[in-house]
Structure 1
């Protein structure tokens, strides 16, 4: 909620400054900040939906809500980029913009606020292994970088190059589009059920093979669904192993894997005789 409040207030201030003082760069930065507010709301909504329990229509839960939220975020970034680019190109021929002292103060304040907010979002997102929160953090970081560019543009305008204001807005639009494309690539990986990575797969196999009674392991598969990992595997045991012992083995194996593998939500284990 603090993030939503902060980006909304800063976005309104930037828009007001850009509109009243005629700065294309500040108008572009305000669109970026207010888009950040929208995406933060979407991320919060996605997190709440993903925490719902499985039901008769969603037997595996609602974890993909996080990915759908990221999809909406990527689309919002792309649209904001195109809008900013359009406005900036229209303002390239302008030659009468002179920055005021208040714009410098707003730029520096925004850089500090957005940088601290972005750092905290990215830290929390990585801790939770949540793609949408990390993406939202990088979007907030783009707000800070945008204001760095705005500040540089103001300096050039003061030196007698008013076109720098519109050029900075163009640069901000390119930056936002780059973040959008990067996020799209990550979303595609999740929808294509990509592996959680070689390190995680190797660690899972080592844990399974290190358990007493296990003689082998094959067909180990895992995929990401939102921020969670779903896995299945086949384990080999001695032919004389009873059904009861095999069941106890898989229960111990499931508890071990869920304790050691971060974000592992579900694992299906199939037991086979070694021969």
Structure 2
């Protein structure tokens, strides 16, 4: 047998790692009750174990995700960035069995909850990964291989001094554009007005095309999650956006 993957990866310079602030803060990582049970019984099936670089949410840049090998077939791939408790992506995987889904999340209880939901329905077309999304899109997933990227209700970082930590930036938009297949879609949603305006500006000035004049109608494939329900009860308006990677001209 050959060397394990970790032994074949080239050493990296840790001093240049994550020079920009990440868009998340690590919350509690304790698992209890059903989540702990789901993790123990089903993480081997649903969790992608990826080689790390420095942090436990990093992805070594030499690692490549082989969707056909992981899922055992060739199908459209949908990636949700910040999948939370898995409500949206598990519903989508259960109603679209012809597509494969990858949930990207850093919050361990959220990953466990997603695994619990997926296992309850015995889904075979869903996997989860605990990783920093820009690293997933920049190196882990081959360019041009994603059908849709979903970014629903990312942390708004509402204080002006924290806006630099927002996920949706010009650089992130270009990572999404590179990862999408021609004709692929980037779907976004937020309940924060200022962040919605930023998303619209970022996407409109990227290499992607806004599918609508400005805001998109609500994406019917997105179920109303507990988070979105709280936003609605608080009176915050939900904004949807859809950007597309253009097909090559003939």
Smaller-chain TM-score bracket: under 0.3
The TM-score, its normalising length taken from structure 1, stands at 0.21
Of Structure 1 and Structure 2, the greater strand share is in: 2
Greater per-residue helix proportion: 1
Larger radius of gyration: 1
